[in-house]
Homo-oligomer: A and B are copies of this chain.
Amino acid sequence: MDFFKVVSVGEGKDMIWENFKDYEFETEEVNILASINRVLAEDIISDIDVPDFNRSTVDGYAIKSSDSYGATDSIPTILNIVGEIKMGEEAKLTIRSGQAAYIPTGGMLPEGADGVIMIENSEKMDENTLLIYKPIVQGENIIFKGDDIKKGSLALKKGRKITPELMGVMAALGISKIKVFKKPRFYIISTGDEIIDMDQELTIGKIRDINSYALYGLIINLGGEVVGKAIIKDDYNLLRNEVDKALDLSDIVIISGGSSVGARDYTHKVIDSFNGRGVFVHGVSIKPGKPTLIGEGKGKLIFGLPGHPVSSIIVFKTFIENYIYKKLNMDYIMPRVNAVMDFNFPSSPGKVTYQMVKLNEIDGQYHAEPSFGKSGMISLLSQSQGYIIIEAHEEGVYKGETREVFLL
């Protein structure tokens, strides 16, 4: 039993940041095709103008815009067709007043021209004669050189998560290798005399290791990698040896605890045993997840997560995801959906409460109902698509109100 103060969620996040804001996550270079969902570890400055020539955005005719002034359906302007711009080729002709040249979408604007009249607003009378039925303004239907991205300008900021769209941007800039943060390395240790792994026989009194699998998935989806995974009996020396090894191999060690008092004591002592700061968060006012331990050993971040699956998932999302996003400078937006609450639910005064919910779509509107179940039930996980967060100052959830449901 310890008698330390339980901290708020905000205080807990601040304490992690204070202790680990200077922790270095290494970087590596990856090929663009392998970069999806990685995090940019450098600003990307464009070394070209995009586009690198004046380009038409439509199929039409390149002209001098002043030639089109006054053109109408009834009194079209007549221009002389002097040639055709080919896709992917340099435009070698020059447009003078009274002249026009066919140009495809993406084609290079010829010298002298300062606008493109869309094909729909013109009519080709014969090989050499074009009628135009509408005036255009200077620059109409053209992207000028560097209009999109200027040479030397900041194209993408460090910390951006590489989406499909950003892959397109990097391709446009001709960047085939990208400096990204290495995947944060995690080591997961499940503790408990009752815990057995997948391949062991489920004898009476034992339960299967659930948390390390859920945590494994959370780590992958966060963009991390799992460098080790172990199940350790409730024994101080066994646990200390495993954590010692884990600290050498990983950036962050997660001890997924037995939820009994004894198991928590072992974990606490082990975290304190590396001549570092030891445990600096001794419990958090979060529900579920209160008996969370957060500490430091050998310069690495160590979490002692509660044994119940839902608790350990919530604490992972609240603290570990938050730290990684902040540390890698990511402007991450938590995916969510609006839903009508089909239930009343009381808050726990002074605590941030996470409640798992099921979502149903009714006439294009999502409705949420709580996934109830006794503590530790895994059906809470199989039935839920998301969770709501009830802040410490809130009174609770009222039936009929619309809230944000964060997606699992």
Contacts and interface: CB of A to CB of B under 8 A. Distances in A.
A93 interface: no
Contact of A171 (B108, B198, B220): B198
Interface in A181-198: 192-195, 198
A215 to B, nearest CB: 7
Contacts of A216: 33, 36, 164, 167
Given A147-B374, A337-B336, A259 B106 contact: yes
B221 A164 contact: yes
A104 interface: yes
Contacts of A203: 90
A59 B261 contact: yes
Nearest to A148: B377
Interface stretch (A19-27, A49-57, A125-133): A49-57
A205 B333 CA distance: 38
B57 A168 contact: no
Among A104, A149, A216, find the residue whose CB has the most chain B CB atoms closer than 10 A. Answer: A104
Interface string A24-65: 000000001100110000000000101111010101000000
A115 to B, nearest CB: 13
Interface of A: 32-33, 36-37, 48, 50-53, 55, 57, 59, 86-91, 104-108, 143, 147-149, 155-156, 162-174, 176, 192-195, 198-199, 202-218, 220-221, 234, 258-262, 307, 309, 313, 331, 333-338, 359, 366, 373-379, 381-382, 384-386, 404, 407-408
Among A50, A88, A104, find the residue whose CB has the most chain B CB atoms closer than 10 A. Answer: A88
Given A88-B206, A205-B91, A407-B335, A165 B214 contact: yes
A90 B205 CA distance: 5
Contacts of A335: 335-337, 407
A95 to B, nearest CB: 16
Nearest to A204: B90
B193 A88 contact: yes
Contacts of A404: 338
Contacts of A86: 193
5 contacts: A33-B213, A55-B207, A156-B382, A168-B378, A169-B378
A143 B333 contact: no
Contacts of A162: 217
Given A104-B260, A165-B408, 4 more contacts: A87-B260, A107-B194, A147-B374, A333-B385
Contacts of A169: 210, 378-379, 381-382
A113 to B, nearest CB: 15
A186 to B, nearest CB: 13
A164 to B, nearest CB: 3
Contacts of A260: 59, 87, 104-106
A342 to B, nearest CB: 17
